[in-house]
Structures are given as structure tokens and as C-alpha cells.
């Protein structure tokens, strides 16, 4: 259970991000990110834009000229954490009155009036599609005016911005391929804070990956709120695809094709992607994963509930049976596939039978990993506006614990399947528990630790798995893989 809770916490953990400094830059930026990996990637875009304005990043809050916090609205806990951090920033600001504080991301769009007018705790508020406007907003602040831009865009993908890699291990990197979301799940604020879905030009994606490969990165994760609905037809919103010309439609690039392009062009680079949505997952993507050894055999496939009644209330565009059929087909095509889930317990109107349906679905799939939460009402969502949060706190707590306990059982079952096998792992860093051991991940996204020996960061090595917990494999390196 401790591992599962730790994984949950890491999803909303803030990180003060830093990169190599330029001698010619004289101003200092302290940037902290909360929430999903898309937010981390956005912070890298912001750092790149501000680098051109003379800012180096710093991990020392007190010396910063500009503090930016990239925020998350997905859960109440995330917002509470960010508010506490803003209070700390303002205490420092009293000592260093030249310091400016800005809020980026999802909370910026949702709470702009509170931050600027009512609480007066920040100087500028910048939505996810307005990062290019930060230099202009800083000019507004310098002239004594509050600055805000939370306008959502139909075209912005930041495809031409080369992100500054912040706090990178130099081995793995993230490349954004879509922005926004069209799915309108009733519990989710993302469509309102990040706008409608649009995809990035494949050419710019491949160019960014080439840049990462040139810097010796070994693994790339393609990012989006919903990567499976990637659709490039020359630019514009996904919902407007049917209005495009016949030529644009005929030459459009979908996600399976993009994935194939990446894996073919960079055969020595590992690829992952996140996040998938079951309603948009097509089997051509799974066949592409089976075709290429360098596409990792791991899918994050959020289901949120095992109950058809809850799936309908959540506006998930699939049923329990359709999800199970999809899982069956995935395992037929790629038997070694690893699956993880997002699960919400205690959603509006959830009965004990609905909860049991979720547990039964979990037993059917036996997920390798899981991210599990009890429902918290988010203002501005369809559920927050129109549904009653009627499941008692103690009931939510008990149901969540049952889901976590079952996931822990399944996680151990899955790690035990690796015992005795020799598998390829990419060395990503030093083990947190033992400085003499490396940690790495296999194609299924499972972590292993093993003695360092003469191997180094970024090496692909073959490890014989000899022991395991529900979270980690332990083994012995038997040599390099043929991917080096």
C-alpha cells in the first residue's frame, strides 16, 4: 500500500525545476510544477521562452526575480498544496519586494479573478495557451499593472518552441504531441482549462525527437491529454476535421502512423506514450506496438470505474464490456503488454454494487500499476454543476482502501511473472535506497534495481530478475543489450 500511495502523491508533487545556466543571462527564474507530466512539459516551454528574455533557472527561491508556479486543478489536494506554496512565496516577497510571482496553467484559467483581484497574491496569471505572451505580461507588471492572459487558442501547440529540459536525467524526455481535450468527462476540468483538442505537426515532433537523440537521450514519451485521438491534417481543431478539404483529409496523420514514423526513424530510441482513452484507442496502435521492438509494451488505459452506470454518469464513451473486449484484444496482439489504470471511487451516486463492479473489473484485468483516488468535486465541471456529491466520506475512504489493497495484490502478481527471466532495462538513475545500485525500467515500465558494476547512466543492460516486491524487481546484470 505504501508504494501505491507514494505513486499517487508523486502525481501532484511540486518540483522546483532547474537547468544549465547561461553566463549572459542576468535574471533568475524559480519555476515549480504541480500535476501531470503535461504541466512539467509546459514548464520546460516557459523556461525556453524566458531564457530568451535573460532568465536562468534557480532552485533558491529567495534569490529569484521571477517565481512561476505551474498549477493543477484536477484534484482539491493539488489546489490546496499550490495555495500553501503561494503563501510562502508572498512571505519571501515581503523580504524581496522586487520579486514577481506568476501563476501558470490550469488554476490560472479557473481562478484568475481570485488570484488578481480578490486575494491579490500574484502579479500575473497566464493560461496554458498564453505562454508566448509572458514577456508582454512582464512589461505590464513592471509598469504597475496586473497582467492576465488566459485566452484559449484553436491553434497553439508550441511546436516551434524547443523546450529547455529541466531537472533532466539526460536519459528520458517528454515530447508533447497534442493539447486540450474534447471528451468532456463530467468529473474533469481539463476541457475548460486547456481548451479544445488540437494536434501538433508531425514534422516538428520528429525534429524535436531528433534534437533529443542528438543529445543522447535514450527514451521519449509522447504526451497528450488523449494521445490516441492525435490527428494532423494541416492544423486546426480535431472537431473541424470534417470541414477540411478532401486532400487534407486524405493525407491526414493519425496516432498509429505517427507512432510508426517515430519508431522507424529512431530504431535505437525507446518510445512510450501517455495518456490513452479507451474510447479512442484503435487496434492499429496495438499492431504498431507489436511491430516495433522499440515501442514499449506498456499502456496507461484509464477506466475510472467498472460500473456501466458510473461510466455513463461520468460521460465516458464506452461501456464496461467494450473496455474488457479492448483489453482482451490488446493481450491477444501483445501478450506481454503491461496495463495501468486510473480509478475514481465514490463518484456521484455510486452504489455498493457499482463499487463491486469496479473490483470485479480489476480482477479481470489484473493491472500492473494503478492511480486511485476518491472523488472530490471540482468547481466548473459538469458533475460539480449538476450532480450531488452524495457518497459519504467514510464510505469513499473504505472503498478506496479496498481498491488500493486489490491493486497491491495484482501488482505483486505481475512482478512475480518476471522472476527467472532475463530482460532489457534502461539505466535511468541511482536507486534511492542504495547508492551502489542503479535503477532502470523494462519495456513494461517495471522498475528494477541492480549493482552498478562498470555500467553507466543511459546504458541498456540485460538483467536476470531474481527477486521482487509489488513495486520493484531485483536482479543481476548479465551484460549489455543489443540496443547500445
Residues making up the binding site for [4Fe-4S] cluster? 36, 72, 106, 181, 185, 188
Q: Which three cell numbers stand for residue 367?
A: 493491472
- Closest C-alpha among 374, 314, 380 to residue 344: 374
Residues that constitute the known binding site:
36, 72, 106, 181, 185, 188
Pairing of strands 27-33, 55-57: parallel
C-alpha cell at 156: 497553439
Distance between CA atoms of residues 53 and 279, nearest Å: 42
Q: Copy the grid coordinates of residue 89.
A: 512565496
447: nearest Cα among 409, 473, 412, 421: 473
Secondary structure element (H or E) that encloses residue 78, with its range: helix 76-95
The SS3 assignment for 115 reads: helix
Which single residue is written with the C-alpha cell 501478450? 335
What CA–CA distance (Å, rounded) separates 421 from 172?
A: 25
Asked if 407 and 366 touch (Cβ cutoff 8 Å), the reply is no
Calpha distance 337→333 (Å, rounded): 9
Q: How far is CA 375 from the centre of its chain?
A: 19
Other beta carbons less than 10 A from residue 280's beta carbon: 18
CB 122 within 8 A of CB 112: no
Where does residue 62 rank: exposed (0-12), middle (13-18), buried (19+ CB within 10 A)? exposed
Cα distance from N-terminal residue to C-terminal residue, the chain: 36
Amino acid at each position: 500500500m505504501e508504494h501505491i500511495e507514494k505513486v499517487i502523491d508523486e502525481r501532484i508533487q511540486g518540483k522546483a525545476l532547474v537547468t544549465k545556466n547561461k553566463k549572459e543571462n542576468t535574471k533568475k527564474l524559480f519555476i515549480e510544477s504541480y500535476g501531470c507530466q503535461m504541466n512539467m512539459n509546459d514548464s520546460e516551454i516557459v523556461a525556453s521562452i524566458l531564457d530568451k528574455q535573460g532568465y536562468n533557472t534557480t532552485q533558491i527561491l529567495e534569490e529569484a526575480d521571477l517565481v512561476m508556479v505551474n498549477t493543477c486543478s484536477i484534484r482539491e489536494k493539488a489546489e490546496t498544496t499550490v495555495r500553501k506554496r503561494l503563501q510562502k512565496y508572498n512571505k519571501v516577497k515581503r523580504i524581496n519586494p522586487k520579486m514577481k510571482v506568476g501563476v501558470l496553467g490550469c488554476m490560472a484559467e479557473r481562478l484568475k479573478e481570485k488570484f488578481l483581484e480578490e486575494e491579490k497574491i500574484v502579479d500575473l496569471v497566464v493560461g496554458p495557451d498564453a505562454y508566448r505572451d509572458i514577456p508582454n505580461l512582464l512589461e505590464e507588471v513592471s509598469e504597475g499593472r496586473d497582467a492576465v492572459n488566459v485566452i484559449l487558442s484553436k491553434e497553439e501547440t508550441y511546436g516551434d518552441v524547443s523546450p529547455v529540459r529541466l531537472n533532466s536525467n539526460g536519459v528520458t524526455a517528454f515530447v508533447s504531441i497534442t493539447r486540450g481535450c474534447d471528451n468532456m468527462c463530467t468529473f474533469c476540468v481539463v476541457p475548460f482549462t486547456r481548451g479544445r483538442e488540437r494536434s501538433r505537426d508531425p514534422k516538428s515532433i520528429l525534429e524535436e525527437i531528433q534534437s533529443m537523440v542528438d543529445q543522447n537521450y535514450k527514451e521519449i514519451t509522447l504526451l497528450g491529454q488523449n494521445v490516441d485521438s492525435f490527428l494532423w491534417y494541416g492544423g486546426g481543431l480535431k472537431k473541424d476535421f470534417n470541414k477540411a478539404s478532401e486532400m487534407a483529409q486524405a493525407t491526414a496523420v493519425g496516432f498509429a502512423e505517427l507512432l510508426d514514423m517515430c519508431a522507424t526513424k529512431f530504431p535505437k530510441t525507446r518510445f512510450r506514450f501517455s495518456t490513452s482513452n479507451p474510447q479512442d484507442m484503435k487496434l492499429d496502435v496495438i499492431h504498431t506496438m507489436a511491430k516495433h521492438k522499440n515501442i514499449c509494451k506498456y499502456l496507461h488505459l484509464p477506466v475510472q470505474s467498472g460500473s456501466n452506470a458510473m461510466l455513463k454518469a461520468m460521460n465516458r464513451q464506452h461501456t464496461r464490456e467494450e473496455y474488457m473486449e479492448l483489453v482482451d484484444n490488446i493481450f491477444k496482439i501483445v501478450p506481454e503488454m503491461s496495463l495501468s489504470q486510473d480509478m475514481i471511487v465514490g463518484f456521484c451516486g455510486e452504489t455498493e454494487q457499482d463499487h463491486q463492479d469496479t473490483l470485479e473489473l480489476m480482477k479481470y484485468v489484473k493491472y500492473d500499476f494503478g492511480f486511485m483516488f476518491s472523488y472530490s468535486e471540482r468547481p466548473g465541471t459538469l458533475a460539480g454543476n449538476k450532480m450531488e456529491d452524495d457518497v459519504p466520506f467514510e464510505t469513499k475512504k473504505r472503498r478506496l482502501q479496498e481498491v488500493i489493497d486489490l491493486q497491491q495484490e495484482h501488482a505483486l502478481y505481475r512482478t512475480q511473472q518476471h522472476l527467472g527471466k532475463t530482460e532489457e532495462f534502461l539505466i535511468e538513475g541511482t536507486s534511492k535506497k542504495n547508492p551502489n545500485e542503479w535503477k532502470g525500467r523494462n519495456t513494461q515500465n517495471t522498475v528494477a534495481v541492480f549493482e552498478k558494476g562498470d555500467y553507466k547512466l543511459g546504458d541498456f543492460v540485460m538483467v536476470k530478475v531474481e527477486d521482487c516486491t509489488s513495486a520493484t524487481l531485483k536482479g543481476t546484470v548479465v551484460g549489455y543489450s543489443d540496443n547500445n
